[in-house]
Structure 1
Amino acid sequence: MRAEAAERPLEESKAAVRLPLSLPAISWVSRLVELAAVLGASYLATLIYDLRVPQDLAINYGRLTLLTGIVYLVLSESMGANDVEAQLSFRKALGRVLSSLVFTAVTLLTVGFFLKATEEFSRIWVVTFFALSAAGLIVTRAALIPLTRRLKRQGVFNQRVAIYGAGPQGSRLAEYILGHEKLTLSINGFYDDRVPANVQTHGLPVLGGSQRLIADIRQGLVDQVIVALPWSAEKRLREVVELIALTPVRIRLAPDIAGFVFAQRTVVLLGEVPVVTVFERPISGVDQALKWLEDKVLGLLILAVAAPLMAVIGIAIKLDTPGPVFFRQQREGFNNRPFLVWKFRTMFADRCEGDNIAQATRRDPRITRVGALLRRSSLDELPQLINVLLGQMSLVGPRPHAASTRAGGRVFSEVIARYAARHNVKPGLTGWAQICGWRGETQTEEQLQKRFEYDLHYIDNWSVWFDLYILIRTAATVLGQKGAY
């Protein structure tokens, strides 16, 4: 659903002349200015290097410049560079704009390579062109965003909204609008035939009934009406909507009271009926295929590199204490399905626990000398690469815990009611919580809560790049921490 913004009611005694401006209109201005910045970057790069090429090749430079601008506009649109938050926040816009330009460069270079066209262009010109394009795009956004924010504060983009219905549903709607910074809406007030005029709700007055609303619309004081009546009042809803429909104004139906609980959820059409998507399966569709490919390819590469080290570790375990090299213990995986996790044995063979597992503590007498070193460096987790290749785990994800593990004397699932949400994705060999310091023994419920929050953040924000970032940071972070015993 389109985001539109919220301000306190505007005092208007007569229909004001309003500028035909909106955030979408400003975004189109931004697109045109950015296209001009790319074209200008090409011209400057040509001047800087006094580029002189035959006429037939000069046409190719022009085509490359225009193609760069078009591909950039397409990619920037798909990456959200023109969304409301990117129009109002330089920090958010910067990442999306530069990412779009980088992907544009990679796309064109890849196409040029396969078409064997890269030899036709000066490499130093191409590098300068993209560098100047980046600078031009940054300057463009740095100039447009403060202007856009200033206009928004002045209410230039705001649509004047009337809420019909001053009951609990209308009150919740007004509270939501007034607390939503990204919306571009100014609430004139409430209208309701069953509530006396001049009553205040959230600092907003009840201006009158449906006839007063019609009069205000006729005077040009209202751009949009949101009907906030209980959906069960079907007859009243129809009567109000049919009456307002006689005027040239946008009419919207506010969600019922229960709808505000899921206010941030996506609304989609099921046939012709709008339904709220309460929860999507995380990492599904194409993302699931990418995650699978990442686990298999990188898992095999890491296993091949780590194999000699794993052999040395196995010999050290055998020489240190009698017993098997590996230890298998039940964990809960995707969809709460149990599986056996592989680890190097770090405890004395007769003290390894299969059920009612107690987390290892500092100076735990169950841990062997080699085991202590393996735990501090997390090298005891390396055999879980087998679980990754078997499809039971991922390289990155929430760490798998035994169902009986406790924090503050209570099992994890009792401490956090939504703890099972961690199992909506496969558990990982490493995870976002671990590299952020939430690793090792969980002594208190607060520690478990923090770990859970980081795990949910990873699930909600997953990407291949996020996984690679976590993998790169894992070695340095884990080796330097002291949380694991």
Structure 2
Amino acid sequence: MGAFDVRDLIKVDAAATATSDMMGRSAGSTTRAFHPLAERIAAMPVKPTLSPVMIEGLVRLFDVIAIAAVGGLVYWLYVSGNVESSLPYQVTIPLLAVGALAVFQALHLYHVGALRHFIPTAVRLTAGWTTLFLVALAAFFFLKIGDQVSRVWLAGFYAGGLATLLSERLVVTLGVRHLTRMGRLERRTAIVGGGEAGEALIRALEAQRDTGLRVCGVFDDRNDDRSPDLVAGYPKLGTIDDLVEFARRTKLDLVIFTLPISAEARLLTMLRKLWVLPIDIRLSAHMSKLRFRPRSYSYIGAVPVLDVFDRPIADWDIVVKWLFDKVVGIAALILLSPLMIATAIAIKLDSKGPVFFKQKRYGFNNELIEVFKFRSLYHEMADFAAAKQVTKDDPRVTRVGRFIRKTSIDELPQLFNVVLTGNLSLVGPRPHAIHATAQNRAYEQVVDGYFARHKVKPGITGWAQVNGWRGETDTEDKIQRRVEHDLYYIENWSVLLDAYILFKTPLSLVTKNENAY
């Protein structure tokens, strides 16, 4: 069975749902409830999707390996041991591999849309491969080195390379088509703004081939004639606030605004609510009378859009960070296991109760996760909801607990979260307790855009912690500064920054621990 099409559900139920909604409003309702169809869509299981960028990158890698392997194999079978110098071959093989990569890129052979269609791809690939070899022959002629390279090797390299590349693309095409049918290449999309502009955008997107977009519905703050309940067959599922909740409860990859740039105040108001989400946000430009240079736009098929926000740590960055977490996390578990065992024994000897303590925290995309810690409070005084922050000389803290909290040894069991459950990263914004407050105000009420720190996985340590903003956040200024540092980390992430933070963490535990109790 193919991938479940959300549009089928939307188009089947749209008319009935919209009619019911209009009847409810005509009865005097002034508050728009969360759309029942949005509830149904959000409740549906969604298969994990694969990044087209990663698939395209893998195909590039396969091409380079295949070309280098064929050139080396033909050399080994026919030329090896029969020539005075192997240098021309050692230079030609990698140059042709890199040259093929550039030619195929210029011919747009790596886009997922091209990978779905074998025949046109095969024609362009053959033309590009042939052109590359003609250029190579011309270079041998003008450099007067043609007599140093075997013609049989060149012919074998050309034929073997072409056959290998075509075979590889056939396998890739079958694989990409299978992933498409299974819904693994979809980009679940919400449209912001109804009316004529919204309908024109949806029609334009539906006319594109191979974009992988799956429109889940339309959201608009307007409730007048300019924004009808049905837009190009899709229902209006709610307001921008509803969209934030919808994106929290179901996987959403992309939001496209149809608002004109001239509606600056309205656009900024909506973006202030949406930028906290870990999704890509685009502004449609297909109906705009204001035209920029073509390179100013990105494109969904042939539909021009302006990039507003990009999801942080996406595509290959996710893979790199995941590998970093697993490799370094496992190494840290092994190296720190004696310390963790000694801590567990000390906790058990110091007070009654379990060694470990599990607590609910906010994780990626504001989801609730459960993190492990060494128990530092008396068991009978445990605060699983973290309703009250630990303060200086807090009587709830055990003797061992004071030491392990001061040195952050109590956080070491979170390595299990990194290595085993994967809901924490080694480095990232620290996960806050679900009822955490500063001066009796919830963090999200204190800091505008607070939930933007949940656009990435939380971490055991982070940029805020190594800069002294760890421990108690009893004032609004402290949580404000912590969030500022978290957002800086998200916007400037790199593996080198993660490594730097890990390197600096032990030093910061000694020199910047005045707020840790």
**What is the TM-score when the length of structure 2 is the normalising length?**
0.46
**What is the TM-score when the length of structure 1 is the normalising length?**
0.48
- Greater C-alpha Rg: 1
